[in-house]
Chains A and B, each alone.
Chain A
Amino acid sequence: MRQRSLIAITAALAAGALTLTACGSRDDDGGGSSGDGGTTVVIGVDAPLTGDLSALGLGIKNSVDLATKQANKEKVVDGITFKIEALDDQAQPSSGQQNATKLVANKDVLGAVGPLNSSVAESMQKVFDDAKLVQVSPANTNPALTQGQNWNGGEKARPYKSYFRTATTDAIQGPYAAQYVYNDAKKTKAFVIDDKKTYGAGLAATFSDEYKKLGGKIVGTEHIDPETKDFSAVATKVKNSGADVVYYGGEYPQAGPLSKQIKAAGAKIPLVGGDGIYSADFISLAGASGAGDLATSVGAPVEELPSAKEFVANYKAAGYKDAYEAYGGYSYDSAWAIIQAVKKVVEDNNGELPDDARAKVTEAMQNVSFDGVTGKVSFDEFGDATNKQLTVYSVEGTDWSPVKSGTYEG
């Protein structure tokens, strides 16, 4: 009798312990099932992993990593294990091109996510296109990358068939900011500053165009040197111009100090920028005086999308050291688009990768469609995202809080 009850307890305890450990291991093992043979497909990542913009770059890299782990865990493509190869472009076009060449040389690479900077993308597009290797950028917003140099003159022509992006273009972002600043914020005199880079100058130009059309006055323009942190001379000019708003085309490492120095110079006017300044670091760099600064960013606010919440939770659970930042969701979706394209190609070829996998994946990318972190992901005939949402955020306390959202339905 005694033995029997002892056995019962042991059995119960063992069962409990087993289920508990099973729980534990289910979470830990996640990506560990990669050992079970099959083919490895590498997704290249190109982003600035060092330097001023490394926060954004590391967010991109980690998000792509998360996407591949998720794909391996859920066995999205049978028999295929995804890996990433992350290369640092230091936000330099020359490094970007070298990285593109390197990724092309690796036969396992079937797609690449990146880069962050439009100027870097310009140097990579041809290398990838010659190799028919698909490239999906989570962050490039320069319209010319997909619609050709003459996009503004009404002659849209896609220069490279292998280039796609999940980000919205400046052709929408700049004008939307202009509308918001002129009509909603009622600011009629703008001082426009840019950093002369492809992204910044392009954004500032689309803003200025629309702002002038709406009836706003550009009271001054300035191009800053992104290598310096001393903008006092520019700030003094802004103050004396009598502007009631500053538009900055560029990125947060310069925008933060610029905003701070403009306010310190005595011009208590908001600084408005694009997705390049939509980063938590902008708020800390701009300091307390940055309250009320505005940024437009691509996509809807995270709290409005359940898929985004899940991404945020997974990202946290994966324990990455760096935040996912402005482009995390777009990077995840970019990687997921490549994974979906690979899946389609493999399924069409009886479960194996065909010989011309790169060309096939590029082809398949055109018809990819799924519900991603940032909403519905699919691409139009230029390779641009069809989901064109954007949101105006304003600095409140230590956070960006959404002010107004819009959807492009053209």
Chain B
Amino acid sequence: MNELPQQLVNGLLLGSMYGLVAIGYTMVYGIVQLINFAHGEIFMIGGFGALTVYLYVLPDGTTMWIALPLMLLGAVIAAVIVAVGAERFAYRPLRGAPRLAPLITAIGLSLALQQAVWAWYPGAKESINFPEIAGGPFEIGSVTIQTGDVFLLAVAPISMAILAYFVMKTRTGRGMQATAQDPDTAKLMGINTDRIIVVAFALGAVFAAVGAVAYGLKYGQVQFRMGFILGLKAFTAAVLGGIGNIYGAMIGGLVLGIAETMATAYIADVPGMSQLGGQSWANVWAFVLLILVLLFRPQGLMGERVADRA
């Protein structure tokens, strides 16, 4: 049986999740040139926000058709509050500081958020089960798609389209573009850059929250560390796609996800490579790909010239 289609779908799903989270990295970087390492934790907070709605707000036994939108809302609210709060209290005071200061703040914030959830969320010392959508898997040819994955498959493109529309067509969106190109000039042109920065953080958080709900539905659990590795991967995806470019984030996520899946599935079968295959080597191959891409296109797959920025 040919497993290629199934593996492609696996990679596509993983990549969509990376992409959703990567948007937060890329947008914040594009506007304030800050690598927000706490973004993975904002993703995690989103997952716990959705879980809180399900466990403590909704009555037991609510069907997922009603619960899911509300959980999504809870996830978005939790993630946005934390992201905007982080911007206001952790990053804004350091706006003029050397670049290293906000970076270290971000790492500290990441640890603090992780440990706060670990310590205070009831039962969060362990993985907590996330509700799942009932219904069997769908078989399309030789490809099996889980019910939980359908959400991701539907929501990732839709939210990308909305984002593209928002950035291209709305006033705030164009303000974001302007601020990204040149913050000082944008300010002189009457754009409230502080507000734009807050919007960038909030939008990133919204996407992370959507990704977190998708994560919960796909893997059936959330835990306090779920944002750490996924955040790193998403950051890698953002760099791969060209950091600062929102389409790049999505493309980078998809490429990374598919590359990891293909490496897991096929490298071991290449003659002489059996030692270097399997999932434990998937990260290595993903980073080999990243290095190759950056060698030939330092700005990333879709990136603009970043040399004058960094």
User: Hey, which bits of chain A sit against chain B, CB under 8 A?
Assistant: 50-52, 54-55, 58, 195-196, 221-225, 227-234, 236-237, 239-240, 253, 256-257, 260-261, 264-266, 281, 284-285, 287, 322
Which of B56-64, B158-166, B275-283, B294-302 forms contacts with chain A? B275-283
CA distance A261 to B132 in the complex (A): 13
- Known interface pairs A55-B126, A264-B144; 9 further A-B residue pairs with C-beta atoms within 8 A, sorted by A's residue number: A50-B125, A224-B279, A228-B279, A229-B226, A231-B279, A232-B13, A234-B279, A236-B10, A256-B127
Closest residue on chain A to residue B125 by CB atoms: A54
Supposing A236-B3, A266-B137, A266-B144 touch, asked if A257 and B220 sit within 8 A by C-beta, the answer is yes
Supposing A234-B264, A240-B3, A266-B137 touch, asked if A222 and B219 sit within 8 A by C-beta, the answer is no
Write out the residue numbers on chain B whose beta carbons fall within 8 Å of the beta carbon of A287: 129, 132, 220
| Residue B36 CB within 8 A of the other chain | no
Write out the residue numbers on chain B whose beta carbons fall within 8 Å of the beta carbon of A265: 6, 144
CA distance A266 to B140 in the complex (A): 13
| Residue B52 CB within 8 A of the other chain | no
| Residue B265 CB within 8 A of the other chain | yes
Write out the residue numbers on chain A whose beta carbons fall within 8 Å of the beta carbon of B132: 287
In the complex, the 8 A-B pairs of residues with the closest C-beta atoms, listed nearest first: A233-B264, A232-B10, A223-B280, A233-B261, A223-B278, A224-B279, A240-B3, A227-B229
Closest residue on chain B to residue A263 by CB atoms: B137
Write out the residue numbers on chain A whose beta carbons fall within 8 Å of the beta carbon of B261: 232-233
B278, A257: Cβ atoms under 8 Å?
no
A133 vs chain B, min Cβ distance (A): 29
CA distance A234 to B118 in the complex (A): 29
| Residue B11 CB within 8 A of the other chain | yes
| Residue B189 CB within 8 A of the other chain | no
B219, A230: Cβ atoms under 8 Å?
yes
Chain B interface size band reads 35 or more
CA distance A52 to B212 in the complex (A): 19
13 A-B pairs in the complex with CB atoms less than 8 angstroms apart: A196-B280, A221-B278, A222-B279, A223-B279, A223-B280, A224-B280, A225-B279, A233-B7, A233-B10, A233-B11, A240-B3, A260-B220, A284-B129
User: Hey, which bits of chain B sit against chain A, CB under 8 A?
Assistant: 1, 3, 6-7, 10-11, 13-14, 118, 125-127, 129, 132, 137, 144, 146, 219-221, 223, 225-226, 229, 260-261, 264-265, 268, 278-283
CA distance A118 to B261 in the complex (A): 30
Closest residue on chain B to residue A257 by CB atoms: B219
Closest residue on chain B to residue A240 by CB atoms: B3
CA distance A154 to B264 in the complex (A): 36
Supposing A232-B14, A236-B6, A237-B265 touch, asked if A52 and B225 sit within 8 A by C-beta, the answer is yes
Write out the residue numbers on chain A whose beta carbons fall within 8 Å of the beta carbon of B7: 233, 236
A228, B3: Cβ atoms under 8 Å?
no
Write out the residue numbers on chain B whose beta carbons fall within 8 Å of the beta carbon of A233: 7, 10-11, 260-261, 264-265, 279, 282
CA distance A256 to B220 in the complex (A): 10
CA distance A239 to B223 in the complex (A): 27
Closest residue on chain B to residue A237 by CB atoms: B265
Please pick, from A51, A236, A264, the residue contacting B225 in the complex, using a CB distance under 8 A.
Answer: A51
Write out the residue numbers on chain A whose beta carbons fall within 8 Å of the beta carbon of B126: 54-55, 281
CA distance A265 to B144 in the complex (A): 7
Closest residue on chain B to residue A224 by CB atoms: B279
